[in-house]
Amino acid sequence: MKPESEAELAEMVRGAAGPLALRGGGTRTIGRPVAGELLETGGLAGIRLYEPGALTLVAGAGTPLAEIDAALAAEGQRLPFEAPDMRGLLGTQGESTIGGVVAANASGPRRVQAGACRDSLIGVRFIDGAGTVVKNGGRVMKNVTGYDLVKLLAGSHGTLGVLSEVSFKVLPVPETAASLIVAVSDAGAAVQAMAAAMASPYEVTGAAWLPGTGVVLRIEGFAASVSYRSGKLTDLLSGFGAVEVEAGAKAGPETGPEAVAARWAAIRDVVPLQGAAGDLWRLSVKPSDAPGVLARLGAEAVMLDWAGGLIWARAAEGEDLRARLGVPGHATLVRAGAETRARIAPFQPEPAPLAAIAAGLRAKFDPRGILNPGIMG
């Protein structure tokens, strides 16, 4: 089923005789497979409202992310949260949709500065499990009273409602960007270097560690400011290792901006862990805990993002890395074979009180239990 309007979508949900497997572009689906009739939102496409002066954009949930990025770029703007492209990691095809981005709360390296997808989301329209159209938030940046369903829907993976429309605040593209590469090979020293950079007044918008490359930091803004901050950070971090600066304006023929953009696109899309067999895990921990977690994981390949708060790990097939976590955190099984996905819960098991709240929310928004049942384990 592929509705072409919100009314048609609501009618399809109301008339569903059994479970529904929801899909946007099918590029970033994780979790357990859903046994149900396929319901695609790709027909709910199109930018409904874009006001560059007001920094707001409204689009149908099925709108391709690439279309939104292109429209924003034409006005020198962008989505703040830098949604990753998961196709290379998951081996999927198709076009990512903005509804799928919201359903997964997909957020890239800029989260350390701009927040997650849900922090830029200002309004949603969705169909609940009873087929009722629900609207929450708005189309402009203002305070809205009532329950914040906008934040609730982001990251719910289609279990609370089928998104039909989303509204975002957007931001201007900075004039200049630069990357600082610090030659740090040890995870402990890397986390210390990233912590020092993040605690500085130099407005770092990305902090990652790639074994074999080192710590990679990003600075964005006006050219003079980026140059000044790059120099100050170089002085601050020189005790950790040699510092290389990669910089350039956002437009022009020079290789600087292209290199900066390509480097952060690779970090965003976890390119270092693509192209090899094995299970892929995404772990969220306190940054200072990351070195110890890496030592316990014994993973085949790793990288750190969010200044050490996000660990990407590729491990041998069939192992539950949660048993090695050893500290408070969350571990998501992003990619694995069918047998492993059936045996190991893809999402971090919830404590009993939180699980009871989550079950109550699902019962309220989806009383028949037909929206992506079982996807979260």
pLDDT tens digits along 82-128:
999 999 888 888 899 999 999 999 999 999 999 999 999 999 999 99
Same domain? 321 vs 260: no
Same domain? 289 vs 319: yes
Same domain? 161 vs 193: no
Same domain? 305 vs 241: no
CATH of the domain at 184: 3.30.70.920
State the total domains in the chain: 3
| Residue 168: partners with Cβ closer than 8 Å, 6 or more residues away | 56, 57, 58, 79, 120, 121, 122
For the chain, the average pLDDT equals 90
Give the mean pLDDT of 243-266.
73
Same domain? 253 vs 327: no
Q: How confident is the model at residue 258 (pLDDT cuts 50, 70, 90)?
A: confident
Q: How confident is the model at residue 147 (pLDDT cuts 50, 70, 90)?
A: low
Q: What is the pLDDT of residue 45?
A: 94
Q: Return the DSSP state at 253.
A: S
Q: How confident is the model at residue 142 (pLDDT cuts 50, 70, 90)?
A: low
Q: What is the pLDDT of residue 250?
A: 45
Q: Which helix (H) or strand (E) holds 78?
A: strand 77-78
Asked whether the predicted pLDDT for residue 253 surpasses 60, the reply is no
Same domain? 231 vs 334: no
Whether 359 is in a domain gets the answer: no
Same domain? 32 vs 112: yes
List the domain range (segments joined by +) for residue 301.
272-343
Where does a domain end: 157, 172, 187? Answer: 172
- Identify the CA nearest to 26 among candidates 117, 94, 89: 94
Whether 354 is in a domain gets the answer: no
Say how far apart CA 12 and CA 135 lie, in whole Å: 18
Structure tokens, 38:
């396929």
Q: What is the pLDDT of residue 363?
A: 93
Q: Kindly give the residue spans of alpha helices, DSSP state H, lying in the chain.
A: 6-14, 65-73, 87-90, 98-104, 111-114, 117-120, 149-153, 187-199, 223-237, 255-268, 290-297, 338-343, 352-365
Q: Which has the higher per-residue pLDDT, 64 or 137?
A: 64
Helix (H, G, I), strand (E, B) or coil at 215: strand
Same domain? 155 vs 40: yes
Say how far apart CA 264 and CA 295 lie, in whole Å: 26
CATH of the domain at 73: 3.30.465.10
Whether 377 is in a domain gets the answer: no
Q: Which has the higher per-residue pLDDT, 165 or 251?
A: 165
Asked whether the predicted pLDDT for residue 317 surpasses 70, the reply is yes
- Asked which of 27-36, 275-284, 321-330, 341-350 is least confident by mean pLDDT, the reply is 27-36
Long-range contacts formed by 196-202: CB under 8 A, 24+ apart: 196/236, 196/237, 196/240, 197/233, 197/236, 197/237, 197/307, 198/112, 198/307, 200/232, 200/233, 200/236, 202/229, 202/232, 202/233, 202/236
Where does a domain end: 245, 269, 293? Answer: 269
Asked if 64 contacts 25 with a C-beta cutoff of 8 angstroms, the reply is yes
- Angle at CA of residue 116, ends 115 and 119, nearest 5°: 75
Whether 144 is in a domain gets the answer: yes
Same domain? 10 vs 37: yes
Q: What is the pLDDT of residue 148?
A: 82
Asked if 94 contacts 65 with a C-beta cutoff of 8 angstroms, the reply is no
Asked whether the predicted pLDDT for residue 255 surpasses 50, the reply is no
Q: What is the pLDDT of residue 256?
A: 63
Whether 56 is in a domain gets the answer: yes
For residue range 175-230, list pLDDT tens digits in order: 999 999 999 999 999 999 999 999 999 999 999 999 999 999 999 999 999 999 99
Using left for φ > 0, alpha for ψ between -120 and 50, and beta otherwise, residue 137 falls in: left
Whether 369 is in a domain gets the answer: no
Same domain? 279 vs 186: no
Whether 255 is in a domain gets the answer: yes
Where does a domain end: 147, 172, 197? Answer: 172
Residue environment code for 241-278, b if the CB has 16+ CB neighbours within 10 A, otherwise e = bebebbbbebeeeeebbeebeebbebbbbbbbbeeeeb
Same domain? 253 vs 337: no
Say how far apart CA 193 and CA 189 lie, in whole Å: 6
Residue with the two structure tokens 């600087």? 256
pTM for the structure as a whole: 0.90
Same domain? 122 vs 12: yes
Asked whether the predicted pLDDT for residue 18 surpasses 80, the reply is yes
Structure tokens, 48:
């409904």
- Asked which of 24-33, 105-114, 153-162, 331-340 is least confident by mean pLDDT, the reply is 24-33
Share of the chain above pLDDT 90, in %: 73
Give the mean pLDDT of 122-149.
79
Whether 368 is in a domain gets the answer: no
Give the mean pLDDT of 302-319.
94
Say how far apart CA 1 and CA 15 lie, in whole Å: 12
Q: Calculate the alpha carbon distances from 326 to 186, 235, 364 in Å.
A: 20, 35, 35
Q: What is the pLDDT of residue 26?
A: 81
